[in-house]
Amino acid sequence: MTDQIPLSASTLVQNLREGRLTASALMEATLDRIAAVNPKVNAIVALRDAEDLMAEAATADAARDKGPLHGLPIAVKDLVNVAGIRSTQGSPLLASFVPDQDDLLAARLRAAGAILIGKTNTPEFGLGSHTFNPVYGVTRNPYDPSLSCGGSSGGAAVALATGMTALADGSDMMGSLRNPAGWNNVYGFRPTWGVVPPQPRSEVYLHQLSTPGPMARSPEDIALLLDVISGPDPRRPHGWPIPPLVPLHAPSLRGVRIAWLGDWGGAFPMEEGVLETCEAALRALADLGADVETPSAPFDAEALFQSWSTLRSWQVAVELEALAGQGGTLKDTAIWELERGRALSAFEVHNASVVRSAWLKASLTFFERYDAFVLPTAQVWPFANEIAYPRQIAGQSMDTYHRWMQVMVPASLPGLPALAAPAGFGAQGLPMGLQLVGPRGADARLLGIGAAYHAATQWPDTRPPQLEEEKTHDRAGA
């Protein structure tokens, strides 16, 4: 059954639906792959008992009703509560927590026929774009296990890159699914804010930064998962409906206008080779007929970051407040966010949102000329696992633990949709990605552009070296 592993999620669910593949056979192959690969990368955690999973797969095989993800094994990011599965958020404070009810996203996956096999690893509380925590340890980059896989959806990206799952969910506040997609040579999509409703909590009006989103090895598979997890929820007042995306069609890119913003006019320090790798990837869009231009940055980068940092600390502090009262220790970055958020005045929060509103207005003018703008998915290459976060880029010191991901803020702050796509490999053989960012509501348009780009590049077919070695060994043995 190892021949099923490289198949797309779309092909797998079609084969399952039409009887050319059984859920039991796919589950067996999935568990075999996890057993072979996961000890090297530590991407999937809280894996359920194999006998229980095989029994659930057998039940799926006997079912008459077959949803869009019928029989497909999926591990859910460990920021999402899944009934019966340990849900820790990477924190010792929640190390023994087993919820008895699914969060909204998990419930939608389950209703669509997916078999929820366990969790994908994440940083503690999802803070920081480097996946390590005191509960499960570090998740390793499959292209070089000594290096970071990014985060906070690092476990999800690695599970996809290594063929342990065909689909994965992520979440994105400050690039949490875009950064790991870029560093693991897969796709991640931050939808327009409201397309995928975040889990309804005690307050549902004020905070509009973080959103769930799909990750996969192709835009077509992104569309498959987005159709399942999107759609309004009556408990969330700010939904943004979109029509069904499957089947996703790759349009002609003739006349599509792309703005390459690179380092935002020099505002974002970049490690050597990042911009050059993305510029080479942009040539694929130009070869497909897109008009690629290099305009000036459309807004002040520092104003964006200060607005972002204020609104982020305000939201994160609110989320951490309840946990802080339970005793135990929060990590340093969580304490920093909590103390900063507590100290903010209402007028400081308001003024930060005024800047956010001004950027949204400016982006509307910018998108009158361009269909999308493009930025790298990170300002640095994957760094050593032992480093919590980069302190310096190209000689410039970083004043916060997340300043090195400033390149993500222009999309995140006003809730713009952004597709993280593989951009190829640098001189050291490490992956980098680029993000295509469009106006609110342009989700289908961006995924269509991504589908055309994917058809021309097929970057995820360049598998991690250990998988290439396994494939070579398999062919020799055959």
**By three-state DSSP, how is residue 238 classified?**
coil
The answer to whether the beta carbons of residues 393 and 448 sit under 8 Å apart is no
Which residues contact residue 93 at a Cβ distance below 8 angstroms, ignoring those fewer than 6 apart?
A: 323, 326, 328, 330
Burial class (CB in 10 A: 0-12, 13-18, 19+), 345: exposed
The answer to whether the beta carbons of residues 306 and 267 sit under 8 Å apart is no
152 given a catalytic annotation:
yes
471 given a catalytic annotation:
no
Compute how many other C-beta atoms are within 10 angstroms of the C-beta atom of residue 368.
8
The rounded distance, in Å, linking the Cα atoms of 270 and 263 is 7
Element of type H or E holding 225: helix 219-229
Residue 118 pairs with which residues in a beta bridge?
75
Show the tokens assigned to 272: 């050597």
The rounded distance, in Å, linking the Cα atoms of 173 and 212 is 9
Supply angle C-alpha 163, 374, 316, rounded to 5.
70
309 given a catalytic annotation:
no
Instruction: End-to-end CA distance of the chain: give it in Å, rounded.
Output: 14
Choosing from 77, 91, 119, 210, which is the catalytic residue? 77
Beta strands at 291-293 and 257-260: parallel, antiparallel or unpaired: parallel
Choosing from 91, 148, 176, 313, which is the catalytic residue? 176
Show the tokens assigned to 61: 């095989």
The rounded distance, in Å, linking the Cα atoms of 335 and 163 is 36
Of 159, 126, 52, 68, whose CA–CA distance to 331 is shortest? 126
The rounded distance, in Å, linking the Cα atoms of 176 and 408 is 9
Sign for the pseudo-dihedral over CA of 204, 210, 216, 220: positive
Choosing from 24, 91, 148, 152, which is the catalytic residue? 152
The answer to whether the beta carbons of residues 253 and 285 sit under 8 Å apart is yes
Of 298, 254, 289, whose CA–CA distance to 416 is shortest? 298
Show the tokens assigned to 353: 């949102």
Supply angle C-alpha 465, 150, 120, rounded to 5.
85
**Residues marked as catalytic:** 77, 152, 176
